[in-house]
Amino acid sequence: MDRVLILFLTRYYQVRLQDFEQLDPEHCTTDELLKMAAEVSSLHKFIMDSYEEGYTESTNRIVSQTDALKRLQRVLTMVLQRLGPPYEPERFYLCPELVNIDNIDMEQFEGGQTFELLAYLDHIDHQSESAIEIGHCFESADQQQRWQNKTQVVMTEMV
């Protein structure tokens, strides 16, 4: 990343984090809390995407100067606690428990098939041509609805 862009992003994160931390969730409407959670999640996702795209050094500068990851996590946790159900962390990019990919046990995937991502997405798309009854997989209509909502989020992210 360009030096000027790093300076701008660092300052932007500092200002937005201060704004978030100064707000009292007890005095915010549900819409304001949802908007805040969405922005906090987007800011976190930008950092994670920057790491994944290989901008490690510049992203480390932004994070080290702002403590952004911990502070974003703290703000989102506070907002989600205030919102209560059904506004769970799964609805946003940021979750309280981060998944460390290095700790995933690869043995559980032995015997499975490997697909190219585009071929697999095409395979899923063709399967979706016929409706599959899934109601029997859930104990309640609420569980089924939550699963469908999460599926919609996953599909949106894939697109």
The H-or-E segment that residue 21 falls in is: helix 3-22
Which CA distances in Å does 5 have to 10, 17, 59, 62?
8, 18, 11, 10
Name every residue whose Cβ is closer than 8 Å to that of residue 109 and which is 6 or more positions away in sequence: none
Condensed to tens digits (0 to 9), the pLDDT of residues 103-151 reads 545 555 556 677 777 787 777 777 766 766 777 777 788 887 877 777 7
Name every residue whose Cβ is closer than 8 Å to that of residue 69 and which is 6 or more positions away in sequence: 44, 47, 63
Which span out of 14-18, 72-76, 106-110 was modeled with the highest average pLDDT? Answer: 14-18
Reading the block at residue 97, the tokens are 């428990």
Q: What is the pLDDT at residue 89?
A: 55
Average pLDDT over residues 26-47: 88
Average pLDDT over residues 35-54: 89
Q: What is the pLDDT at residue 96?
A: 44
Q: pTM for this structure?
A: 0.55
